[in-house]
Amino acid sequence: MGRIVKAAPFDYVRAESIEHVLELLAQYGMDAKAIAGGQSLVPMMAMRLARPAVLVDINWISDLKQVEIEADRVSMGATTRQRDVEDDAELHVALPLIRRALKWVGHVQTRNRGTIGGSLVHADPSAELPLAAAVLGATLRLQSRDGGERALGAEEFFLGPMFTAVGETECLIDIEWPIWSGPGVVSAFEETAMRSGDFAMGSAACQLQLDAEGVCRRAAIGLGGVDGTPLAFPDLAAELTGRRIDGVLAREVAQAAIARAEPGADLHADVEYRRHLGAVLLARTLQRAASSVNPSVTAH
C-alpha cells in the first residue's frame, strides 16, 4: 500500500489587511508563506517540497482583488481569481493575450481558485501567466513593512525556476499590464503538454499589431518551458515591424529565439526535442496571430 503524504505541521494566520500581511511577514520572515488560492503551494506542501512554519492567508483582503482598467494599462490585485479574469469581457479586449494564456492553465476548477499573483510568484518556468507577463512587459509591485514599495519589470522579477525577486518579508500587491491601444491587435498562445491541464513541455506566445494591409507595426514574442525562466525577445520582435509575417519569416524568428534558450531534459523530452518544439510553437503562434486578420498567411 502506498504511503500517505501530507503537509508538515504549520500555524495558520488569517490576515485582515495589507498592513497586517506585512506585519506578519516581517515577524516570521522566511518561516512564513502567503497563500490565497493555494493551487501551487498546497500540493507542494502535501509532498513536503515546501514546509512553511506559518501560512498567512491573504485571501480575504479586498484591496488585493481590485481590478482597474485605464486607458493604457490594467492594474490587477495579486489575489484576483484567474477565472474572474477569464470571464471578464472588458479584460478580453484590454488584455487579449491573458485570456488566451488562461485557457491553458490547469482545469476550470484550478482557475476557480487559482490567483494571478499566485501563479506569478510560484514562477514555474512552464506556467502560462509568467510567460504572458514576460511577453507583455508586466510590472509587479511589491511591498514590505520596513522596505516600503518597489516595482519590478517581469525581466527582473523572474530569476530562476520557482525563484523570484520577492524578498522574505515582501508581498506581491498588484500587477500592471500594459494595454495596446488602436486597431489590429491580435494574439496567440500555444503549448504542448503530456495531458490537458499539465504544465507545458514547451509554450509560445505573441501579440501583434497589424495594419489594414497585414503589415506588422508592433510585436512581442516569447517562449516558456525551454529555460529556467520565461523568455521574451524584444529585439527579435522589433525585426517583425514593417513586414508582413509569412511562414518563412515566422520560422526564421522562431529559430533565432530558440537558439538563445537553454532547455533542460527530463523523462518526457530531451534537450533537442524541446528546442524543436519551442521553434515550432513560436512559428505557429506568429502565423496564427497574423492570419487572424490576414488569411493569406500560410506556412509556405
Residue 40 placed within a domain: yes
Cell triple for 85: 479574469
pLDDT greater than 90 at residue 251? yes
Domain that holds residue 51: 11-57
Residue 3 placed within a domain: no
Residue 298 placed within a domain: no
Looking at the fold, whether 211 and 272 belong to one and the same domain comes out as: yes
Looking at the fold, whether 157 and 253 belong to one and the same domain comes out as: no
Looking at the fold, whether 207 and 287 belong to one and the same domain comes out as: yes
DSSP class per residue in 208-247: EEE-TTSBEEEEEEEEESSSSS-EE-HHHHHTTTTSB--H
Q: Which CATH number covers residue 49?
A: 3.30.43.10
Vertex 68: Cα angle to 117 and 38 (nearest 5): 20
Question: Final residue of a domain: which of 178, 202, 230?
Answer: 178
Report pLDDT for 8.
Answer: 87
Residue 281 placed within a domain: yes
Residue 269 placed within a domain: yes
Looking at the fold, whether 121 and 139 belong to one and the same domain comes out as: yes
Say if residue 293 is exposed, middle or buried (CB neighbours under 10 Å; 0-12, 13-18, 19+).
middle
Question: Domains in the chain: how many in total?
Answer: 3
Whole-structure pTM value: 0.93
pLDDT greater than 90 at residue 95? yes
- DSSP-derived secondary structure letter, 115: B
Residue 2 placed within a domain: no
Listed in order, strand segments (DSSP E) in the chain are 11-14, 32-35, 54-57, 67-69, 73-77, 139-144, 148-153, 158-160, 163-164, 171-178, 185-192, 202-210, 216-224, 231-232
Looking at the fold, whether 284 and 264 belong to one and the same domain comes out as: yes
Q: Which CATH number covers residue 194?
A: 3.30.390.50
Per residue in 254-289, pLDDT tens? Answer: 999 999 999 988 888 899 999 999 999 999 999 999
Report pLDDT for 110.
Answer: 87
Report pLDDT for 300.
Answer: 35
The greatest distance separating any two alpha carbons of the chain, rounded to the nearest whole angstrom, comes to: 64
Q: Which CATH number covers residue 101?
A: 3.30.465.10
Looking at the fold, whether 125 and 69 belong to one and the same domain comes out as: yes
Per residue in 109-155, pLDDT tens? Answer: 889 889 999 999 999 999 999 999 999 999 999 999 987 999 999 99
pLDDT greater than 70 at residue 50? yes
Chain CA centroid to CA 294, Å: 28
Looking at the fold, whether 95 and 152 belong to one and the same domain comes out as: yes
Looking at the fold, whether 244 and 265 belong to one and the same domain comes out as: yes
Looking at the fold, whether 172 and 86 belong to one and the same domain comes out as: yes
Residue 230 placed within a domain: yes
pLDDT greater than 90 at residue 244? yes
Give the confidence band of 299 by pLDDT, cuts at 50, 70, 90: very low
Residue 296 placed within a domain: no
